[in-house]
Amino acid sequence: MCFIWKHPTLPHEEVSVETLSRLPGGFDNLNVSGGEPTLRKDLREIIDVVHPKARIVEISSNGLHWERLEPIIRKYPGIKVRFSLEGSEETNNRIRGEDNGYRTKVAGLRRLRELGGTDLGFACVIQDDNVDELTKLYEFCTEEGFEFATSALHNAFQFHKADNFPYDRLRVAREVENLITAMLRTNNAKTMFRAYLNLGLIRKILGQDRLIPCTAGTDFIFVDPWSDIYACNVRDDLLLGNLVRESWGEIIAGPAAVRMRGEVAACKQNCWMVTTARTAMRNSLIPQLPKTKPLLWVLRNKLRVTLGLPIDFERDIDYGDVRADVSVSRRDSYLGVTVKRLPQRASERHYPQGPFFNR
Ligand code: SF4
């Protein structure tokens, strides 16, 4: 579902700590992802530099080298850590091509909890192969005291992937309903708004329009491995500048940024990824609070679940409108398969997959 691993970058060409120090402060959320952030030998220095710049700093990792996060958790116990986990042991290892991935990352997250970590969790990409395990995985996380974040198959230049679509959209979408209902049974506000985020995922899975307009380039940006700044990680034509060659101020006020805002407003990509959707759900004046639409949905449906009534999914989702005009490629398991990887140089075209669409 993601081919970043097939396109490794050269460490000496990757965005440096010094370059990241040129980001301004005052971000609400800053996600250090990858590729795989624990492969960076200077991850501790990176976190030292970005930690003061954001209310929440997150590390998104595959969790296979969790021991490299130990010193970071000791120093910043409140830092948010999410490990990718796609289901039960067999399902996770097959989907992700990991020999012993499930056990490694479950043990790792428990260890980080012992060390004092307070915002730890798993992140799962919903797809045909794991959707019937979703609620169980969520319950496992709840029992363990871990968070459970979800996204759905997605195409993005960052992933080097342009053919990520569910095989059976309707089945996958219907299964997500069970997770939403389970999430609304809690009294945890964060989990209840995650239920709304999953409602958006149902629309994404069916190929329908977003629940809330995108705010790429205004409320969030993406920094790629070569210090290029994009409005988002999906469209490589929304390049705003480069943090080595330009200052932050020049990038966000430059002509590319002005042009980008019009492009984002008219963007027809059907994105709903956790970082971007979460941002779109936030109140523009007080980002800790939600917008009115998700707030009203949560209040209404929390009440229904509390009263033992089913959630009226048809109110937000047209199940008769299922996109069927894309060709779907098989997602093979790479478990036990050796693939030769060629490092990608800064001088080469970074994202050669050409135009594509999320539907
Ligand atoms: S909707 Fe368009 S601008 Fe927004 S994240 Fe997706 S591709 Fe980027």
pLDDT tens-place string over residues 165-206? 999 999 999 999 999 999 999 999 999 999 999 999 999 999
Q: What's the CA-to-centroid distance between 233 and ligand 1, angstroms?
A: 8
Sheet (strand 239-242) strand order: 222-223, 228-230, 239-242
Quick check: 137 and 91 in contact, CB under 8 A? no
List, in order, residues 6 or more apart from 106 with CB less than 8 Å away.
Answer: 85
Q: Using alpha carbons only, how large is the chain's radius of gyration in Å?
A: 20
3-state secondary structure 83-140: EECCCCHHHHHHHHCCCCHHHHHHHHHHHHHHCCCCEEEEEEEECCCCHHHHHHHHHH
Q: What's the CA-to-centroid distance between 257 and ligand 1, angstroms?
A: 14
Three-class SS of residue 14? Answer: coil
Q: Which atom of ligand 1 is nearest to the CA of 267?
A: 2
Report the nearest-CA residue for atom 6 of ligand 1.
271
List, in order, residues 6 or more apart from 283 with CB less than 8 Å away.
Answer: 289, 290, 291
Q: In testing the pocket of ligand 1, which one of 212, 222, 232 has its CB within 8 Å of the most ligand atoms?
A: 232
DSSP string, 193-247: HHHHHHHHHHHHHHTPPPSS---BTTTB-EE-TTSEEES-SS-TT-EEEETTTS-
pLDDT at 329: 84
Quick check: 225 and 176 in contact, CB under 8 A? no
Residues written for the chain: 359
Three-class SS of residue 155? Answer: coil
Q: Determine if ligand 1 sits within 6 Å of the CB of residue 216.
A: yes
pLDDT tens-place string over residues 247-257? 999 999 999 99
Residues of the chain below pLDDT 70: none
Q: What's the CA-to-centroid distance between 234 and ligand 1, angstroms?
A: 6
Of the candidates 202, 210, 213, the one whose C-alpha atom is nearest the C-alpha of residue 319 is 202
pLDDT at 318: 95
Q: Which atom of ligand 1 is nearest to the CA of 235?
A: 7
CA 305, CA 344: separation in Å to the nearest integer?
50
Report the nearest-CA residue for atom 3 of ligand 1.
264
Strand partners, 60: 82
Q: What's the CA-to-centroid distance between 268 and ligand 1, angstroms?
A: 8
What are the helix and strand counts (H, E) for the chain? 12, 8
CA 180, CA 135: separation in Å to the nearest integer?
9
Angle 346-347-352 from CA coordinates, rounded to 5°: 85
List, in order, residues 6 or more apart from 104 with CB less than 8 Å away.
Answer: 63, 64, 66, 98
- Which residue shows structure tokens 């709903």? 272
Q: What's the CA-to-centroid distance between 167 and ligand 1, angstroms?
A: 23
pLDDT at 352: 84
CA 350, CA 348: separation in Å to the nearest integer?
6
pLDDT at 211: 85
Q: What pTM was estimated for this model as a whole?
A: 0.95
Residue 30 tokens read as 């800053």
